[in-house]
Amino acid sequence: MCTCITYENGDFYFGRNLDLEYHFGEQVVITPRNYSFRFCREPQLSNHYAMIGMASVEKEYPLYAEAVNEKGLGMAGLNFPENACYVPEQPGKKNVTPWELIPWVLGQCANLTEARNLLGMVSLLHVPFAEALPLAPLHWMLADRSGCLVLEADREGVHLYDNPFGVLTNNPPFPYYLEHMRNYVNLRAEFPGEGFARELNLSPFGQGMGAMGLPGDFSPASRFVKAAFLKWNSQASGEGLAPVSQFFHILEGVAMVRGSVITPEGVPDVTTYSCCVNADRGIYYYKTYDNSQIQAVSMEREALDGMNLRKFPLVTGQKINWQN
């Protein structure tokens, strides 16, 4: 269970909540331009765009959960159980496994248009990274300043959808959300007027009643609606770090508190980490469930023509700023 959003306020931002009941060895990883990406079926990329994101690293290979490349294109994988369908190798297609999809796209696409063209011939290959690392059922959100796409592979094939909301959560498939959002066209951030019946002269008794009916539970559909409402009604200065703070406030509105969601296995599902990437500058901001202080890693501070991964373990212990 996850929530991914885009946000434009001066710079362009891309990020997500990762909601999971366990850790997967996640760390912030910068892949420089000359790291050699090897793929199961597609030609290797010995030279490519640099990228930054959250990944586990297995055998010195970055398995990205989400990343943004140096050109400002972002991509994230989100849980898509019971719907995701991967297939054997398909002749005439670009056969890419789910675990290599993010670097394969971000390594060679400078923008959303190039990604759309590249993904038009993709087939998602049913090949796990290792026997002990089975494939996760995923769908993906891709975005840059120009727009947003959703990629889904189900039993009917691979689909690319334009995403006008700049938001993605989990099941159901994305076409559902295009219709579902129409149930909430009456919601607004403004103070509501007298709409029930003019003759009754009813007036609201508090602030925020224009959004009566906005979902507040943690289901994927409810998080989608709430994240979209918060994003599209967001107001913040575009100066300094105000957009970064605002981005995290939006994600907090759909984050999971430990104990509020219990998995079928009886384990609490939590927002393991939240991230916000300034896609224009390649700065990855994050905070974890147990450390609400924002941390940052920047591609601007690295030599991007190298060949070796730069790995930054997460700072997970809570930091308190004592003022006396």
- 3-state SS, 231-297, equals HHCCCCCCCCCHHHHHHHHHHHCCCCCCCCCECCCCCECEEEEEEEEECCCCEEEEEECCEEEEEEE
The C-alpha atoms of residue 311 and residue 52 are separated, in whole angstroms, by: 10
Cis peptide before 91 (omega within 30 of 0): no
- How far is C-alpha 55 from the geometric centre of its chain's CA atoms? 13
Which amino acid belongs to residue 14?
F
Show contacts of 38-46: CB within 8 Å, 24+ apart. 39/96, 39/97, 39/100, 39/104, 40/95, 40/96, 40/97, 40/100, 40/125, 40/127, 41/89, 41/95, 41/96, 41/125, 42/94, 42/95, 42/96, 42/104, 45/103, 45/104, 45/107, 45/108
Closest CA to 269 of 16, 23, 14: 23
Q: 293-316 burial, b for 16+ CB within 10 Å, e for fewer?
A: ebbebebeeeebeeeebbebebee
Q: Is 275 a catalytic residue?
A: no
Position 319: which residue type? Answer: K
Q: Do 304 and 107 contact (CB within 8 A), yes or no?
A: no
Which sign, positive or negative, has the C-alpha torsion 57, 63, 65, 70? positive
Cα separation values, 250 from 14, 41, 177, 223, Å:
12, 39, 19, 11
User: Which residues are catalytically annotated?
Assistant: 2
